[in-house]
Amino acid sequence: MQKLTSQSEWIARAQAVLPAGGFGNFDPDIIIARGEGSRVWDEDGQEYIDYLIGSGPMLLGHGHPEVIEAVLEQLPKGMTFFANNAKGIALAEAIVEAVPCCEQVRFVASGGEADMYAIRLARAYTGRTKILKFEGGYHGMSAEAQMSLAPATRVNFPQAVPDSAGIPQSVADQMLIAPYNDLAAVEALLAEHDDIAAIIAEPLQRIIAPEPGYLQGLRDLCDRYHVLLIFDEIVTGFRLAYGGAQERYGVTPDICTLGKIIGGGFPLAALGASAEIMRHFDKSVVGADKWLMQLGTLSGNPVAAAAGLKTMEVLRRDGSYDRLRAIGRTLQDMQTSALSDAGIAHQICGDETLFDIVFTQSPCRDYRSARHDDPQRNALYNRVLRANGVFKSPGKLYPSLAVTNDDLDQTKAAVLAAVQAISAG
């Protein structure tokens, strides 16, 4: 086979064999060749500071030597077994020790799979069918999760809007949609519907921070109405703090989902809860009618578990989260300073460990308010950042522990160039 060295050749080849020319995840006009530390390189050799970091899992950066060593130690011993293995058991122990709501966990291969099972588990435990989710909340690709994830048109709450073809109306009928950061709306729905099994929420919804008392308010409402609270911590787990959003905000859900960081860059996710709730995975305990079947070819595979264990070990070291937050604050400050000096209206939305710029004068408190007043301004901003060697999502910036002072200096120069481009436009 002819060796292709040009990015344009790879793009053309992708267009022939991949729908829309990509994997469905990110801009298909860039083909990443390799990553090392805080940097990635495309197939043309262009170098970037990586603030996408695989959409979150590479919190230590690419190719962390200790993680590589742990993986290489495991590889000759076996890559997957479809059976219990010591690395997977040790990872489960580490998660249970770290995450407040977890007495037991079940492994799956992806975050979307974990969220799907969490919803199913809540229904099995409560015997109820309806799920309350928040407009704009991302919980994977299941039919339930694809309700009102990114609705293009506004409808009245609690109507659910499917974001994908192929989803029957019967799924929408079992979903209730509420605005984030609005406890009154949640309480009204709980008071009206007595068949709600659970509320599923990202504690930090994409980049929208919970208002003070909001998560505790959800916890209190769930207790009052005997509804389960699910925290989707696929992104926030082991990022906002070692114990995730539960530790950061001091609110413990009934069920949580975890992913990204616990696999150290390999496919692995989990859901966890109390032993009482998790017993629905044990047919011998709950019986056939209440048993939740769950299996997966790569669930708990030892390579991913080894990578996750080592990643978590590094994160436990003194100063890891202080440093991550310091990097995030520096990135926030350089952007808001440059934009403010130029008189450009904006909001910093999110947490120091995960955030972005929203070009608006309004506070970002829910899906409908966390929008750019001028989307073209955001597109220009991100386009100039990339042209100056900054690689990020159009809607998120993930700091990592691999970011250096030189990276921050280069990022600041890119930010100034992007702000100048906006001002000139």
Q: Which of 260, 310, 392, 396 is catalytic?
A: 260
Return the amino acid letter for 299: S
Strand partners, 32: 42
77 is catalytic: no
How far apart (Å, rounded) are the C-alpha atoms in residues 214 and 218? 6
Q: Please, what's the largest Cα pairwise distance for the chain?
A: 68
Q: Which of 125, 138, 180, 381 is catalytic?
A: 138
Strand partners, 147: 162
Give me 354's structure tokens.
Answer: 């995960």
**Could you check whether the bond before residue 158 is cis, i.e. omega within 30 degrees of 0?**
yes
Return the amino acid letter for 214: Y
How far apart (Å, rounded) are the C-alpha atoms in residues 196 and 368? 24
CA angle in degrees (0–180, nearest 5) for 328-38-208 = 35
CA–CA distances in Å: residue 249 to residues 23, 68, 209, 241, 351: 35, 32, 11, 10, 12
How far apart (Å, rounded) are the C-alpha atoms in residues 154 and 227? 27
For tokens 């160039």, the residue is 417
Query: What single string gives the DSSP state of each residue in 289-351?
Result: GG------TTTT-HHHHHHHHHHHHHHTSTTHHHHHHHHHHHHHHHHHHHHHHTT---EEEEE
Cβ atoms 396, 207 nearer than 8 A = yes
Cβ atoms 143, 167 nearer than 8 A = yes
Q: Which helix (H) or strand (E) holds 413?
A: helix 405-424
Cβ atoms 104, 273 nearer than 8 A = yes
DSSP code, position 261:
G
Q: Helix 320-341 vs helix 302-315: angle between axes, to the nearest 10 degrees? A: 80
Q: Which of 50, 182, 232, 356 is catalytic?
A: 232
214 is catalytic: no
Count the Cβ atoms, other than its own, within 10 Å of residue 167: 16
232 is catalytic: yes
Cβ atoms 189, 121 nearer than 8 A = no
Cβ atoms 244, 238 nearer than 8 A = yes
Give the residue numbers annotated as catalytic, written as ranges.
138, 232, 260
